[in-house]
Amino acid sequence: MLTKKQHELLVFINARLQDTGVCPSFDEMKDALGLKSKSGIHRLITGLEERGFVRRLPHRARALEILRLADSTASEQTTRFDAKVIKGEFNSAPRGTPKGAAKGTEVAASGEAVDLPLYGRIAAGTPIEALRDPENSVSVPPNLVGRGRHYALEVSGDSMVEAGILDGDVAIIREGETADNGAIVVALVDENEVTLKRLRRKGKSIALEPANAAYETRIFGPDQVKVQGTLVGLIRTYH
């Protein structure tokens, strides 16, 4: 069974191969499906490959072979995630939008993929507002996000590997200026450093805790840390 977008892409690729003998480019696929990002096409192709509908031809750029076609009525309506999507088990109901934070996308329940703004690689010394690239977005399954505004953020580094968050992962963040104790959050430190860490509170102190024994937990005063969102899921691309 295929999702609607997977089926549309399979039909488009097959038609182009039949007409020209040449596989369409990612840009052509993106435009044909009305997507904003080529990363969405990459995930659709990987899904088709995992389900045995297409095969990537080795040592040839953008070369795909159609192995079989789906029935025209095939459309997956289950809540099952694509293999590349890792749903976060972070219980964090939306608690408002942080003042001054870059705006994400308000998510409503639907069966279509949701395009979220994709910010750059989270890095020390870079406020979250400066990371946004208006040209980039990422398509995610609607059941990966709940109510409220969301955005995506590319992870840099290995400070959270023991929590299953790897370098190059795309973190799905729900905007909010508060978070439960123990939640993994996007935190703005001293107004100029953004980091993805686990939040711990003790008295008036705030600890930003890594998930890697090679890094130290950092302790801050209550006015030094501003929560800009809570991690609710991850997208990982396998090459």
Long-range contacts, 52-61 (Cβ 8 Å, 24+) = 53/2, 53/6, 53/10, 54/10, 54/13
**What pTM does this model have?**
0.54
In this predicted structure, what is the pLDDT of residue 46? 78
Which among 201, 192, 145 is positioned nearest to 173, based on CA atoms? 145
Average pLDDT over residues 151-156: 86
The C-alpha angle 95, 113, 56, rounded to 5 degrees, equals 135
In this predicted structure, what is the pLDDT of residue 5? 84
Q: Which of 139-143, 158-162, 177-181, 205-209 has the lowest mean pLDDT?
A: 139-143
In this predicted structure, what is the pLDDT of residue 131? 60
The C-alpha angle 188, 193, 196, rounded to 5 degrees, equals 60
In this predicted structure, what is the pLDDT of residue 84? 42
Catalytic residues: 159, 197
> What are 195's strand-pairing partners?
187
Average of per-residue pLDDT values in the chain: 76
Task: At 122, list the tokens.
Answer: 């989270």
Which among 52, 82, 84, 74 is positioned nearest to 65, based on CA atoms? 52
Task: At 90, list the tokens.
Answer: 């972070």
More confident residue, 227 or 80: 227
Indicate if the pLDDT at residue 24 is higher than 60.
Answer: yes
Indicate if the pLDDT at residue 44 is higher than 90.
Answer: no
Q: Which of 102-116, 143-157, 185-199 has the lowest mean pLDDT?
A: 102-116
Helices and strands of the chain, counted as H and E runs:
4, 13
User: Could you tell me which CATH class the domain 4-66 is placed in?
Assistant: mainly alpha
Q: Where in the chain are the domains?
A: 4-66, 85-235
Indicate if the pLDDT at residue 27 is higher than 50.
Answer: yes
Which CATH number describes the domain made up of 85-235? 2.10.109.10
Q: Dump pLDDT digits (tens) for 52-107.
A: 888 887 766 567 888 888 764 333 333 333 334 444 444 433 333 333 334 455 54
Q: How far apart are CA 65 and CA 23, in angstroms?
A: 8
DSSP character string of 120-189:
EE--TT--HHHHEEEEEEEEE-GGG--SSEEEEEE--SSTTGGGT--TT-EEEEE--S---TT-EEEEEE
Neighbours of 82 (CB within 10 A): 18
Pairing of β 225-235 and β 184-189: antiparallel
Q: How far apart are CA 192 and CA 124, in angstroms?
A: 8
Residue type, 56: R
